[in-house]
């Protein structure tokens, strides 16, 4: 697997010039908490990043690390019991101060989301054509019916659906998993959004279809000039598709870097653990794959200091201060815990 990752880094995701202008999306000191019967739960704390036009930004980490909560904060789809602070700006426009009605006009039109399970993302009682048309009419409510149908057919052609005109009248259950995901992508692209958020878009698909979907997303992004956030636990996907990456653990950013730099020179113990757990094809292994010791820290079990130290059994009374993110090389930041980071 390591050999494959190195190939993908060199051949599929080559170096790009430095970004120019202002970022499409700028997130600063994002904090998300939830009011529960047991009290307040801090799910995301102090997350900051920028995404530039035409770039793919990855958020990686184990389940419960805060990846999806971060993405849902951007698109404004958190539950009512959520409290969000910080700043999220789309093309310089603050999103956190917008009303639900204002965010509804942004979703689908300027920010789109591709969810993990395409079957649950599609409505079973409406045809594929009706669901794509609904997305189109968000931005173009006066579009004539014949133009809507033409655009729906065009979108299905773009995402590789064969015989698109007849498939418009099909229902989601009549498509395979890979074809349903293509339909979800068509809906996401309907209004030429500035930002596409893909939350584990290939998890439910087999390896061959995964590669097809990732290639499709990458090609369409390049063609449209959109930016994207890819949420995944698959480091191979990151190597193939992304420009920069944030590694999250227990609601915090522990490392942030360009993809090639992160794979070549990981600095945080958690990042190293994720990379070490990847199977390698270049050698025969007779032992189990390395695992990260300890249990994943619960977001409900808050400590102010390093959360990864907490996982490794460091006494809580020693974890009194959160380590800062420091820049160890150009655009490469790591949470500067003396126990966990190679500074």
CA–CA dist 113, 145 (Å, integer): 25
Per-residue exposure over 135-172, b if at least 16 CB sit within 10 Å of its own CB, e if not: bbeeeeeeeeeeebbebbbebbebbbbeebeebbebeb
CA–CA dist 343, 336 (Å, integer): 7
pTM (two decimals): 0.88
For 237-265, give the secondary structure using H, E and C. Answer: HHHHHCCEEEEEECCEEEEEEEHHHHHHC
The predicted structure's pLDDT at residue 4: 44
Q: Is 271 left (phi over 0), alpha (psi -120 to 50) or beta?
A: alpha
pLDDT tens for each residue of 222-264: 888 889 999 988 887 888 889 999 999 999 999 999 999 999 9
User: How is the chain split into domains, by residue range?
Assistant: 1-13+23-101+195-343, 121-190
The predicted structure's pLDDT at residue 335: 96
Which residues lie below 8 Å from residue 218, measured CB to CB, with a gap of 6+? 56, 241
For residue 122, give the nearest of 201, 181, 200 by alpha carbon: 181
The predicted structure's pLDDT at residue 6: 52
CA–CA dist 195, 300 (Å, integer): 31
Just give the CATH number of 1-13+23-101+195-343. Answer: 3.40.50.300
The predicted structure's pLDDT at residue 16: 59
CA–CA dist 169, 297 (Å, integer): 47
For the chain, give the secondary structure using H, E and C. Answer: CHHHHHHHHHHHCCCCCCCCCCCCEEEEEEEEEEEECCEEEEEEEEEEEEECCCCEEEEECCCCCCHHHHHHHHHCCCCCCEEEEEEEEECCEECCCCCHHHHHHHECCCEEEECCCHHHHCCCCCCHHHHHHHHHHHHCCCCCHHHHHHHHHHHHHHCCCCCHHHHCCCCHHHCCHHHHHHHHHHHHHCCCCCEEEEECCCCCCCHHHHHHHHHHHHHHHHHHCCEEEEEECCHHHHHHHCCEEEEEECCEEEEEEEHHHHHHCCCEHHHHHHHHCCCCCCCCCCCCCCCCCCCCCCCCCCCCCCHHHHHCCCCHHHCCCCCCEEEEECCEEEECCCCCECC
CB atoms within 10 A of CB 4: 16
The number of residues making up the chain comes to 343
CA–CA dist 212, 189 (Å, integer): 17
pLDDT < 50 regions, the chain: 1-2, 4, 7-8, 10-12
């Amino acid at each position: 697997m390591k050999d494959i990752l190195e190939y993908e880094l060199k051949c599929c995701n080559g170096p790009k010039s430095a970004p120019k202008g202002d970022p499409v999306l700028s997130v600063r000191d994002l904090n998300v908490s939830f009011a529960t019967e047991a009290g307040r739960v801090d799910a995301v704390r102090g997350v900051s990043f920028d995404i530039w036009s035409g770039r793919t930004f990855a958020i990686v980490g184990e389940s419960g690390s805060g990846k999806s909560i971060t993405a849902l904060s951007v698109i404004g789809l958190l539950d009512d019991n959520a409290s969000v602070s910080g700043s999220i700006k789309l093309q310089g426009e603050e999103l956190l101060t917008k009303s639900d009605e204002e965010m509804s006009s942004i979703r689908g039109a300027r920010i789109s989301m591709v969810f993990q399970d395409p079957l649950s993302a599609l409505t079973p009682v409406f045809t594929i054509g009706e669901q794509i048309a609904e997305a189109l009419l968000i931005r173009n409510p006066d579009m004539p019916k014949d133009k809507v149908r033409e655009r729906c057919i065009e979108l299905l052609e773009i995402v590789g659906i064969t015989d698109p005109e007849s498939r418009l009248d099909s229902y989601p259950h009549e498509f395979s998993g890979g074809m349903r995901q293509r339909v979800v992508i068509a809906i996401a692209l309907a209004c030429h959004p500035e930002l596409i958020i893909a939350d584990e878009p290939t998890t439910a698909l087999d390896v061959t279809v995964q590669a097809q979907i990732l290639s499709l997303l990458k090609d369409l992004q390049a063609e449209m000039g959109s930016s994207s956030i890819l949420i995944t636990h698959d480091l191979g996907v990151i190597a193939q598709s992304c420009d920069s990456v944030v590694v999250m653990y227990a609601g915090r950013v522990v490392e942030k870097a360009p993809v090639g730099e992160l794979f070549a020179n990981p600095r945080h113990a958690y990042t190293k653990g994720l990379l070490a757990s990847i199977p390698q094809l270049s050698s025969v292994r007779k032992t189990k794959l390395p695992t990260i010791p300890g249990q994943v820290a619960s977001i409900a079990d808050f400590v102010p200091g390093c959360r990864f130290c907490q996982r490794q059994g460091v006494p809580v009374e020693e974890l009194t201060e959160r380590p800062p993110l420091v820049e160890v090389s150009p655009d490469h930041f790591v949470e500067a815990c003396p126990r966990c980071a190679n500074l």
